Chain A
Amino acid sequence: MNIFQVYKIILGLIVAAFVIFFVTNFLGDYVGLNTQTMTYKAMNELRDKMNDVYITGNSIEFSLLTKKGTPDCFVGSGEEYTSTEIKCGSLGMSFFTPLFFTEGGEGKLFINRNYLDFGWSKFYAVSITPEMIILFVPENSAAKDKMLNITDALKENENIKFAICDNEGITDLVDGDSFLTSTPTETSSSCTASLGGVYRIVKISSNCNNDGICIEINSKTISLDGERLNYEDVLDMLAVIIGGTEKDAFGVNQGKVLFIEKNKVLKNQLLVQIALENERAVMLKNEANIISESIDDVLYDIDIFVGSLNNEISTLDPTDDYDLIVEKEELVENYNDCEYAYSNLKTYITTLQNELQSGDDKFAIKTIVSDAKSLYTSQIENVCQDLSTNAKSKLICSALRFELVDILNNVKTSILNNDPYIQYMKENSKPKYEKMEDNGCN
Chain B
Amino acid sequence: MQLRKAQASMMEYIIMTFFMMIIITFMVMMFLGIQFMNIDSESSKQKMDRSLALMKSFSKTPLFSKDSSITEDTVIYDKKLTAAMLNEAETCENLRKIFGLHWSIEVAVIDGETEQLCDWTDYDNCNKWILCEEEITEGVLIRDIPVNVYRDSTDTVEAGLMTVKTYV
Contacts and interface: CB of A to CB of B under 8 A. Distances in A.
Nearest to B25: A22
A22 B49 contact: no
A193 interface: no
Interface string A55-82: 1000000000000000000000000111
B62 A124 contact: yes
A33 B35 contact: yes
A96 B96 CA distance: 10
Contacts of A33: 35
A26 B9 contact: no
Contacts of B82: 279, 283
B62 to A, nearest CB: 5
A120 B79 CA distance: 14
A120 B24 CA distance: 66
Interface stretch (B84-92, B133-141, B157-165): B84-92
A17 B157 CA distance: 74
Contact of A11 (B13, B28, B35, B42): B13
9 contacts: A81-B97, A96-B100, A121-B67, A122-B73, A123-B62, A124-B62, A273-B63, A275-B91, A276-B80
B101 interface: yes
B63 A280 contact: no
A401 to B, nearest CB: 11
A-B residue pairs, 7 tightest by C-beta: A279-B83, A272-B94, A276-B83, A4-B6, A279-B86, A268-B97, A280-B83
B100 A269 contact: no
A343 interface: no
Interface string B145-166: 0000000100000000000000
A375 to B, nearest CB: 26
A82 B17 CA distance: 52
B37 to A, nearest CB: 13
A95 to B, nearest CB: 9
B116 interface: no
A293 to B, nearest CB: 13
B24 A22 contact: yes
Given A11-B17, A37-B38, A268 B98 contact: yes
A33 B35 CA distance: 9
Contact of B79 (A37, A273, A283): A283
A272 B49 CA distance: 25
A346 B19 CA distance: 96
User: For B62, B68, B101, which residue has the most chain A Cβ atoms within 10 angstroms?
Assistant: B62
A286 B68 CA distance: 25
Given A81-B101, A283-B79, A275 B90 contact: yes
B57 interface: yes
Interface residues of A, number: 50
Given A55-B59, A83-B97, 4 more contacts: A4-B10, A7-B10, A96-B98, A121-B67
Contact of A275 (B49, B68, B94, B101): B94
B26 interface: no
Nearest to B86: A279
Interface stretch (A43-51, A128-136, A240-248): A43-51
Nearest to B14: A11
B80 A280 contact: yes
A272 B86 contact: no
A54 interface: yes
Interface string B22-62: 00100010010001001000100110010001001101101
B80 A15 contact: no
Contacts of A387: none
Given A22-B24, A94-B100, A286 B124 contact: yes
B100 A83 contact: yes
A164 interface: no
Contacts of B124: 286
B24 A19 contact: yes
Contact of A30 (B10, B31, B73, B97): B31
A26 B31 contact: yes
A277 B45 CA distance: 37
B167 interface: no
A51 B97 contact: no
B160 to A, nearest CB: 17
A442 interface: yes
A122 B98 contact: no
A122 B62 contact: yes
A51 B55 CA distance: 11
A80 B124 CA distance: 36
A265 interface: yes
Interface in A253-275: 265, 268-269, 271-273, 275
Nearest to A5: B6
B20 interface: yes
User: For A52, A54, A279, A286, which residue has the most chain B Cβ atoms within 10 angstroms?
Assistant: A279
A128 B97 CA distance: 23
A52 B57 CA distance: 9
A282 interface: yes
Nearest to A433: B67
B129 interface: no
A11 B12 CA distance: 12
